[in-house]
Chains A and B, each alone.
Chain A
């Protein structure tokens, strides 16, 4: 083969490949069905909005009160919960605060939610660490969740805090981890992956060690993750 025919062939290959792709997308000129013209919709939007308004029902826990509050320009569900057995004798010191911020439209992305909570709580934070736990799925899969675990204290009270973004196939406190999980879901299923910011705030002894409640908070976190995955995050509900 001489150099001229190689040149022709090289250009021919490119033309052929481009022409195939052009033929695939050509109808879009009439239908305006370009991928970028369509914002994918959250199929779970109804459940997510309901969660934002009404909070989350947790088995074995009683909700003392629940309302929607504004934190950092976003709407959160703030819910005071106690174990059912202790409901009759609940005091502020035994009441856990559950803050939930579900994504309610597709361009609402997780950003600086933990910072926003710091802003509204006006507390000092320390002992910040990353913990990992897994949640068993009904189908036998185990989902990995990475959460922030820290201590927040004011003059009145000290809290153990656990924070993460929950999505149907896992969870992490880092928006970047959600971003890549979302990209994978969009590529495979052509659907966005909704997220819910979860913040569990439990009072502990004044300036106490958060390690004392690590296990019980982890169990509660697992229960929250499972319940969210089965309700608000469930695509086929």
Chain B
């Protein structure tokens, strides 16, 4: 009986291995293209908005691997929506649209979960699927541009105010800062949405990792903290950039705008978010064991 089970195990997993291999065949070149665009910034600004996929996609893969026994233990169930998603995914994969090709990956993966294990399968893999979806490059950052104007105005206003405090003759008009006959535009892509997306993504991973996502108050406090940290950091960044530009320190401007200064800035910000998470997740006084009780 035991021997038969073991013999059965391999052919039973063979179709799943074959499905995995075919998916890899379809998507390995696409994933390499994504990674190339993230590391070498060779595709587009919109694409770089999803560079958190460099952390998120491997993490999602690890999660799926760690859940493999639970996946196999799920009874075989079929949700017809799975066939719909699989068809949509394959059609989009073959389409000429970059967004559709990219989005076909999370669609196919969700379709597979539904088709093979039904709703419980989708629920089991919901978090890794969410990580893949949020790391799939698409045009949403471009479509958000018309809505970032209030944020650009706020950043321009506060950055201008800060620079006036250090004695710089700054005039703010809408999203423009005028200093010493030089103009700095707080462009849509300077509004800090990229860093905000990355921060929220990392926040999501942290919440899942520490198990804090079950506590509503911790989730809300972390998300609020991330929003505030990003807003403050971005105002400081834009004020510094304006300062460098206005005082003709081109090297400093380039360092923070295009060089490793920007990366350093992002790293410090992400570090602060990790610290915030640890602080929120600290053992509270009520649950800590009382040393006087003996």
Contact = CB atoms under 8 A, between A and B. Distances in A.
Nearest to B111: A14
A154 interface: no
Interface string B112-139: 1001100000000000000000000001
Nearest to B18: A15
Contacts of A127: none
Nearest to B14: A11
Given A35-B96, A118-B174, A119-B185, 20 more contacts: A7-B76, A10-B76, A10-B115, A10-B116, A12-B15, A14-B86, A17-B90, A18-B19, A18-B22, A21-B93, A22-B22, A28-B29, A115-B149, A115-B174, A119-B173, A119-B175, A119-B183, A175-B145, A179-B139, A179-B142
Given A12-B15, A179-B143, A34 B94 contact: no
A22 B115 contact: no
Contact of B33 (A21, A37, A107, A111): A37
Given A3-B76, A22-B26, A119-B185, A176 B146 contact: yes
23 contacts: A3-B76, A6-B78, A10-B78, A10-B116, A11-B15, A11-B19, A14-B19, A14-B86, A14-B115, A15-B15, A15-B18, A17-B90, A18-B19, A18-B23, A21-B26, A21-B90, A36-B101, A37-B33, A115-B149, A179-B142, A183-B99, A187-B100, A190-B96
A204 B149 CA distance: 29
Contacts of B30: 34, 36
Nearest to A118: B174
A14 B94 contact: no
A1 interface: no
A13 B139 CA distance: 32
Contacts of A6: 76, 78
A35 B187 contact: no
Nearest to B116: A10
Interface of A: 3, 6-8, 10-15, 17-19, 21-22, 24-26, 28-29, 34-37, 40, 72, 107, 109, 111-112, 115, 118-119, 122, 174-176, 179, 183, 186-187, 190
A36 B26 contact: no
Contacts of B63: none
B26 to A, nearest CB: 6
Interface in B89-117: 90, 93-101, 112, 115-116
Contacts of B83: 13
Interface residues of B, number: 44
Contacts of A112: 145, 149, 187-188
A115 B23 CA distance: 45
Contacts of A18: 19, 22-23, 26, 90
Contacts of B71: none
B254 interface: no
B112 A109 contact: no
B175 A174 contact: no
A15 B185 contact: no
Contacts of B175: 115, 119
Contacts of B265: none
B77 to A, nearest CB: 10
A111 B144 CA distance: 10
B114 to A, nearest CB: 11
B161 interface: no
A58 to B, nearest CB: 30
A116 to B, nearest CB: 8
Contact of B94 (A24, A111, A119): A24
Given A21-B26, A186-B97, A119 B176 contact: yes
Interface in B187-240: 187-188
Contacts of B183: 119
A112 B87 CA distance: 37
Nearest to B137: A36
B292 interface: no
Contacts of A26: 25
B188 to A, nearest CB: 6
Contacts of B142: 109, 175, 179
Contacts of B112: 14
B185 A111 contact: no
Contacts of A186: 96-97
B66 interface: no
Interface string B59-96: 00000000000000000101000010011001001111
